[in-house]
Amino acid sequence: MLNLTADELLTTTRSVRKRLDFDKAVDRTVIQECLEIAFQAPNGSNMNTWKWLIVDDPALIARISELYNQGTEDFIATMGDAVGENYIGASVPGFSGINESVDYLRQNMHRVPAILFPLMSGRVENSGVFWQASSYGSILQATWSFFLALRERGMGSAWTTAHLWREQEVAELLGIPFDQYTQVGLFPIAHTVGHDFKPAYRKAFDEVASWNRFQ
């Protein structure tokens, strides 16, 4: 355990890509422990309708990695001219570093020791805002708690959604009933190389927050 303060944990839990340790095995019992902590997050009516699928079979991870890469290509193809320096996110400080890091994870996804798929019950494609918010709100908080629990144990993950362009293929591969469960992301799990992560760039309070009236 790193024994970080609560504020250190909350401000230094990063999307880790380049510093995932692909050569160190992860212990199933530690993943279970992190998930059991995560399950304490709120969920609508405390229904616990979520499912959590952990993959640590290297052959499955290799195939998932291909689908992750194909999903990323699908996403890039939707962006037309808005790639590279034309991409809207290119205005963010550190963009080239993020880009390089995203590429690195793409090239190495097949090497991660384990991958987590949080699954929420039902499909939201045709739901209204209430059901969408309630569905995602009932699983994203637990997912982030999982990241925090990993970090405290010297491990890390990267929040990714690119594979969702190939969600159905991943569902078929892993036996997930596609019409009954929605995948919310794909989360590689590994020990991290070092533990000295730092707060990252975010827009300042005054740019994004206001009191009493929208600005």
Question: Which residues of this chain interact with ligand FMN, rule CB under 6 A?
Answer: 14-15, 17, 98, 102, 105, 158-162, 200
Min separation Cβ 175 and ligand FMN, Å: 23
The smaller minimum CB distance to ligand FMN, of residues 47 and 208, is found at: 208
Min separation Cβ 207 and ligand FMN, Å: 16
- C-beta of residue 12 within 8 angstroms of C-beta of residue 199: yes
Q: Which two tokens stand for residue 190?
A: 């590994």
The smaller minimum CB distance to ligand FMN, of residues 47 and 88, is found at: 88
- C-beta of residue 15 within 8 angstroms of C-beta of residue 158: yes
The smaller minimum CB distance to ligand FMN, of residues 28 and 84, is found at: 84
The smaller minimum CB distance to ligand FMN, of residues 125 and 214, is found at: 125
Min separation Cβ 211 and ligand FMN, Å: 26
Q: What are phi and psi of 52, to 5 degrees?
A: -130, 115
Min separation Cβ 209 and ligand FMN, Å: 18
| DSSP 3-state of 52 | strand
| Bridge partners of residue 121, in order along the sequence | 181
Q: At what angle do helices 167-174 and 58-78 cross, to 10 degrees?
A: 170
